[in-house]
Chains A and B, each alone.
Chain A
Amino acid sequence: MSELTLLLLRIGFLILMWAFVFAIVYALRSDLFGTKVRRMPSAAAANAAAAPVSTPRPVSNPVPAPSAGDPPARRLVITSGAKEGLELDLPADELTIGRSSDSGLVIRDDYTSTNHARLSRQGDQWMLEDLDSTNGTFLQGKRVSSSVVVPLGAAISIGTTTFELRR
């Protein structure tokens, strides 16, 4: 075994190690670096700029808030956007929404952040929480800042997709 072969082999080994690291990083790329998010050009951006501060009181809406005894929502129905008309069963306790493929509901448009929002069930109610997204999450047209109760049938907008919760 000549010196040169050994030198080439050991440089090859270092390259092999880094190839392994980069193979993992490549498979993880959206997790590690997030995905590029564009700003909403239209109404939502104006909306976001107009109401960046939180409104802690529950959002006023025409739909009555569920009373204590009501069973919780079990379905999520897309009411507008690319997959309008689709519905899915809500999981038992939590649904994350975002562009990352780790999310429960993956929305890949130009306006959705990697980890955009989270729906979580507390007792008989579903709570909506924005995970510091770039373009915001809107409940009945109002930007969500703190965790809010989602009434049945209230429109939730993320990017160009709007959906609501149903029983």
Chain B
Amino acid sequence: MSSTSTSTPAAGSPRAFTEAITIKLRTPAKLRNLELVLLVFAIGITGAAVALVQLGALGEIDTAFIGYGAGLGVIAMVMHTTLRIVAPDADPFILPIVTTLNGIGIAMIYRLDLADGVEGWASESVRQMTWTAIAMIVATVVLVVVRNHRALARYRYVAMFVGIVLLLLPMLPGIGVTINGARLWVAVGPFSFQPGEVAKIALAVFFAGYLVTARESLSIVGRTFLGLRLPRGKDLGPILIVWLAAMAVLVFQRDLGTSLLYFGLFLVMIYVATGRLSWVLLGLGLFVGGALIAAQSLSYVGWRVQGWLGAFDPTVYEAQGGSYQLVQGIFGLASGGLIGTGLGQGRPDLVPLAESDFIIASLGEELGLVGLFAILALYILFAARGFRIGFNGTDDFGRLLGVGLAFVLALQVFIVIGGVTRVIPLTGLTTPFLAAGGSSLVANWVIAALLLRLSDTIRHQPRLIIEEDA
């Protein structure tokens, strides 16, 4: 693997013969070639999914739509080529995984459009493809502009400000919109977006930058209680502030998932920064306590919990805003069974919001448990790559940011799929990369771009390989 070349021996060394050979650093395109192979595979899967949808739902192949899809494949290739130039050592798995998830999502949204009989700009799938193109271009721009992730650490307080403003934006009268009880959207004219999606990147940058400087004092141990080494009382300020913010989101924006997402992100990052389990236990205690009080005192939280625990109760099922959607999703999953009804051959359109919040139920119905687990495996691989990038990091900020970004995505997948499969109460978050929604797509592609950038600055190319039998 490594190549050697001769160089001039350094003078004055006691063992001059050892300096007769030095190592030439290799600069391989190996990683990018692997990425290219996997990316072609990913585009192939997307094409196959769209073709199967057309065969299943229409009984024939419609080449026009496949043409649009090919356009997206070209943009993915442009991103791959950009990586060859600006980040040659970046992780080779992230782009193919994300492309596959996004492509499967588009195929499913297209399938639901066919069931609803909508075409052109009215259809979600065409809009989703446009957003995918925008998201990929934004991600490419991020890769080109952010050449060194350490520069982001300088903007940590700007990131904090941006994150808080984005979180508060939906609460502003006039532009904030309430959809399905949750106040998470902002609408300006015909455009609406979910600012919370972008806020998670800003907050991950802020938490990483803040914890790098604060980790020393936060890891000092105070009193020991029941064998648990608690942090000092005076260090509790930051966690209480984040907890209050999470509770404010729960009370005013009426969304348990968003609240859990940001608080979980902070807990994991403080745990990674300090290595103290007591922070996690303390934080979970605070959050569960707050959520229980909210479930008792706020009617909509209580409703969500009731719709979760008593989903099959006829009165809950038939109530306005009851468990109808959740139960329809579960019926869909059940009719899919092990290998699914086949793309284009089920009735996923019976579930309300099948193309966004419940896309996992739609995919589960048509691809079955086998297909759903393949999708989950892709998420696991993505998160595992992110943690790996964090683990291999050379600087503390990069490590924390890598772990934080990967975790926030994994937690979001858990919250959404846990909600749809009735593991936790249902919330209004989107499934990353799969669900219809522009702000979510852009935010998650930017996360992918940041992880690619981190992996390029971080990844160690072997400087020397010693094989025993060499």
A contacts, CB < 8 Å to B: 1, 6-7, 9-11, 13-14, 16-18, 20-21, 23-25, 27-28, 31-32, 77-79, 81-89, 91, 93-96, 101-110, 160-161, 166
Contacts and interface: CB of A to CB of B under 8 A. Distances in A.
Contacts of B350: none
Contacts of A7: 342
A32 B34 contact: no
A102 B455 CA distance: 11
A21 B465 CA distance: 28
Given A14-B340, A94-B394, 9 more contacts: A6-B55, A9-B342, A18-B374, A24-B96, A27-B92, A78-B466, A82-B468, A89-B23, A105-B466
A17 B379 CA distance: 13
A14 B466 contact: no
Nearest to A12: B48
Interface string B439-470: 00000000000000000000111111111111
A115 B392 CA distance: 10
A160 B343 contact: no
Contacts of A83: 464, 466, 470
Sorted nearest first, the 9 A-B pairs with minimum C-beta distance are: A109-B468, A10-B342, A17-B374, A104-B460, A106-B465, A106-B462, A88-B23, A107-B466, A21-B377
Interface string B284-324: 00000000000000000000000000000000000000000
Contacts of A17: 45, 367, 371, 374-375
B466 A109 contact: yes
Contacts of A104: 460-463
Given A13-B343, A24-B38, A32-B384, A82 B467 contact: yes
B65 interface: no
10 contacts: A10-B340, A17-B367, A78-B18, A79-B18, A83-B464, A86-B18, A87-B22, A103-B462, A106-B1, A106-B466
Contacts of A81: 466
Given A13-B343, A20-B41, A32-B384, A27 B374 contact: no
A14 B21 contact: no
B463 A102 contact: no
A91 B463 contact: yes
A101 to B, nearest CB: 6
A154 to B, nearest CB: 15
B83 interface: no
A24 B97 contact: yes
A110 B468 contact: yes
Contact of B93 (A1, A18, A28): A28
Contacts of A107: 465-466
Contacts of B144: none
B130 interface: no
B368 A77 contact: no
Given A31-B388, A85-B20, A107-B466, A25 B374 contact: no
A11 B338 CA distance: 11
Interface residues of B, number: 59
A78 B19 CA distance: 10
A18 B468 CA distance: 35
Given A14-B371, A17-B45, A1 B59 contact: yes
Contacts of B388: 31, 102
B246 interface: no
Contacts of A103: 460, 462
Interface in B30-71: 34, 38, 41-42, 44-45, 48-49, 52, 55-56, 59
Contacts of B41: 20, 23
A110 B384 CA distance: 26
Given A11-B339, A17-B374, A20-B41, A105 B462 contact: yes
A157 to B, nearest CB: 13
B17 A82 contact: no
A104 B462 CA distance: 4
Nearest to B394: A94
A49 to B, nearest CB: 23
A121 B121 CA distance: 57
B370 interface: yes
A156 B277 CA distance: 33
B98 to A, nearest CB: 12
Contact of A10 (B21, B339, B469): B339
A161 B470 CA distance: 13
A54 B96 CA distance: 44
Contact of A20 (B45, B345, B466): B45
Contact of B23 (A27, A82, A86): A86
A14 B392 contact: no
A16 B48 contact: yes
A38 to B, nearest CB: 11
A115 B44 CA distance: 35
Candidate in B342, B395, B470 with the most chain A CB atoms within 10 angstroms: B342
